Amino acid sequence: MTTPKIEIDGVDKYYRKFGREAKRALKREEDHTVHALQAINLHVDEGEFVSLLGPSGCGKTTLLKCLDGLIPFDRGEIRVSGRPISGPGRDRAFVFQNFALFPWRTVLGNVTIALEAAGKPKAERDEIALKYIEMVGLEGFTNHHPHELSGGMQQRVGIARALAVDPEILLMDEPFGALDAQTRELMQIELLAIWERTRKTVVFVTHSVDEALFLSGRIAIMSARPGTIAEVMKVPFEYPRHEYDVKRDPAFAEMRYELWEKLRISQEAAFIE
């Protein structure tokens, strides 16, 4: 039996309350901690595209950061390729929602920054970066700065930067959430094309049911806080996928309705609490 690429077993995460929230808790003699994640169990196979879908505040981004090693967790274990993680590693790369580009660097300079930190010679890192800049369709913008690019183009730079370090796993935190609807759909198509070429293992956080259905092989549905994996649904559409074929399929509409119902029930339960 093959070992999953990512194994998340029994993970819990608590945050301490600060500021006004902490003062209110003190007055009410309540606990000063927030239980963000509870008993998270999720395994992801190599080359799989899995989305995390759930209501706002359910801990999707927190789970992604725990997986990247950016923040510690309080209980359980996360393993990558069978090895427990102890912090960030070169086997994982993070793509942020807000682009997180360095404004004083060109497209080439932004994509090469991690290669620079790894000590690769300039000629080698430029060659690697140019390969991925071309892959994301920005070959004519190598010397442009972020302010000269559209939001979609800036996110392409972020994806190229992540791919340039040749990670085994891509962790994507609502990467298209700040884009307009048309650009978002175009970026989904581009990402799927890139994934079909590279077959990286992807864990993708999104609030969009349609986005999760179009991109993913499986969707992990998270409950309201404390977030847990309520259910994992397999998406039945074969790869390669074409947007109009998938979204016209009656199964797409059925799954979309089912997912919305699960999210609605989860969100209502959170309001009642």
Q: Which fold has domain 47-72+86-91+167-272?
A: Rossmann fold (3.40.50)
Kindly report, residue by residue over 159-211, the tens digit of the pLDDT.
999 999 999 999 999 999 888 999 999 999 999 999 999 999 999 999 999 99
- Mean pLDDT, rounded, of the chain: 89
Residue 79's pLDDT is: 96
| Cβ 202 vs Cβ 48: under 8 Å | yes
Q: Which is more confidently placed, 133 or 272?
A: 133
Domain boundaries, the chain: 47-72+86-91+167-272
Kindly report, residue by residue over 84-139, the tens digit of the pLDDT.
998 999 899 999 888 889 999 999 999 999 898 888 899 999 999 999 999 999 99
Q: Which two tokens stand for residue 127?
A: 């060659």
Distance CA 58, CA 159 (A): 25
- Of 134, 185, 180, the closest CA to residue 159 belongs to 134
Residue 167, amino acid: P
Distance CA 234, CA 231 (A): 10
Residue 24, amino acid: R
Kindly report, residue by residue over 202-211, the tens digit of the pLDDT.
999 999 999 9
The distance in angstroms from the start CA to the end CA of the chain is: 42
Q: Which two tokens stand for residue 65?
A: 């950061």
